[in-house]
Amino acid sequence: MRRSVGRIGVLAIVVGVALAACSAPRQQVALAAGPGDFAGLVDVDGRGIWLECRGAGSPTVVLQSGFGNAADIWSVGAERPPSVAAGVAGFTRVCAYDRPGALRVSTDDGAPSDQPQPGRSRPVPMPRTAADVVAELHALLTTAGVPGPCVLVGHSLGGPFTQLSARTFPDDVAGVVLVDPTPPALRDLLPPGQWDAFARTVSEPPSPIPGYAMEAYDLTASLDQLGGAPPARRVPAVVLMAGDVDPVPPDDPSFDAVAAVTATRPEAFARLAADLPGSRLETVPGTTHYIQIQRPDAVVAAVRSVAGR
C-alpha cells in the first residue's frame, strides 16, 4: 500500500511538503444523503461526481483529498487501523468524493492496488483553480442533500481548497481540520524561481494512466483567490503538520524544490495557523506527508475534537 501511495502521490508529496478513461459503472442519482451508507455518482449540472458517505450523526465531516488522490485515500491502507473514514464514521456522518482527474489507490472492490486506478467522477477541462473546486463541492453537497454546517477536512493541496470553502461559504462550516496542508505562505517564502517550479508540479502533471486526464491546477491563481476571499471566521480548527519530510534522492528532479520547501515549513505553517482564528497547530511525530495513512488515529482525534464529539 505504501508503494502504491508513493507512486500516485509523487507530485502530491512535493505539494504537501511545500505543499476520458473514467471507470464509473454505477448509476447516476439525484440525491445521496439518506441514512445509511452510500457510494455512487451524483448528477450535478449534468455530470456525475462520485460521492461516498457512511455513519450517522452530526455534524457531517467532509474529507477533501490531496492532489492526485481520490476519496479512497481516507479508507484504504491505514498503517494503524481503523482508517480515517472508518474511525470518523464511528461517531458521526462522514463523506468523501473524487475530484475529476483524481487517482485511486484501490480497485473497484476496495482492495489495495499496486497500480493507480482512474477516479470515478466525470472529466472536466484542466487546469482548474481552487474556486472551481469550491463551487463544485458546494453544488455536490447541495444536490446530494448533505446537511450543514459541516466539518471540513483537507489534506495537502486540499488544504487551500478547504480554506477557500470555509471563507466562501462560512455558514456551512462548523469546523476545519487541515492535514499537512499546502501552506499559502510558500509563495512568499520561496525564491521566485523555486515557486514557479513548484507551481508547475500541479499545473502540468504527467498522467500515470495512458489516456486519462489527471487533475491539474493553476496554483498561483488559486492562492490569489484565497488571498482575496473574506477573512476566515472563528470556528474550531486544528492544523496537523507532519513530523518529518519524505526523503527525496539527490538525483530526483524535485530534490531542490523539496529542500527549499522543507526549509520554509516552520514559518509557513505558523502563518497558516495564524490565519485560522483560534486554531491550534500540532506536529504529529513519526509521520511524513500522508498522516492519514501513517497516523489515522491522530486525524480522527482532531476531527472528534473539532466536531465536539
Query: Residue 35: its pLDDT value, please?
Result: 64
**pTM for this prediction:** 0.91
Q: Quote the cell numbers at residue 132.
A: 472551481
Q: Residue 141 is which amino acid?
A: L
The architecture that CATH gives domain 2-307 is: 3-Layer(aba) Sandwich (3.40)
CA distance 6 to 150: 30
Q: Give Cβ neighbours of residue 152 (< 8 Å, ≥ 6 apart).
A: 62, 64, 162, 165, 166, 173, 175, 176, 177
What is the torsional sign of CA 47, 48, 51, 57? positive
Return the bridge partners of 261, or none: none
User: Would you list the domain boundaries of the chain?
Assistant: 2-307
Q: Residue 196 is which amino acid?
A: D
CA atoms within 13 A on the CB side of 120: 25
Query: Residue 39: its pLDDT value, please?
Result: 94
Query: Residue 191: its pLDDT value, please?
Result: 87
Return the bridge partners of 178, or none: 154, 239
CA distance 295 to 309: 19
Residue 85 near residue 124 (C-beta atoms within 8 A): no
CA distance 9 to 155: 12
Per-residue pLDDT of the chain in tens (309 residues, 90 and over written 9): 444 454 444 444 444 444 433 333 444 444 444 567 899 999 999 999 999 999 999 999 999 999 999 999 999 866 788 999 999 999 999 999 999 999 999 998 888 898 999 999 999 999 999 999 999 999 999 999 999 999 999 999 999 999 999 999 999 999 999 999 999 999 999 988 888 888 988 999 999 999 999 999 999 999 999 999 999 999 999 999 999 988 888 887 677 777 888 889 999 999 999 999 989 999 999 999 999 999 999 999 999 999 997
CA distance 115 to 155: 21
CA distance 55 to 305: 17
CA distance 95 to 55: 9
Three-class SS of the chain:
CHHHHHHHCHHHHHHHHCCCCCCCCCCEECCCCCCCCEEEEEEECCEEEEEEEECCCCCCEEEECCCCECHHHHCCCCCCCCCHHHHHHCCCCEEEECCCCCEEEECCCCCEEEEEEECCCCCCCCCECHHHHHHHHHHHHHHHCCCCCEEEEEECCHHHHHHHHHHHCHHHEEEEEEECCCCCCHHHHCCHHHHHHHHHHHHCCCCCCCCCCCCCECHHHHHHHHHHCCCCCCCCEEEEEECCCCCCCCCCCCHHHHHHHHHHHHHHHHHHHHCCCCCEEEEECCCCCCHHHHCHHHHHHHHHHHHCC
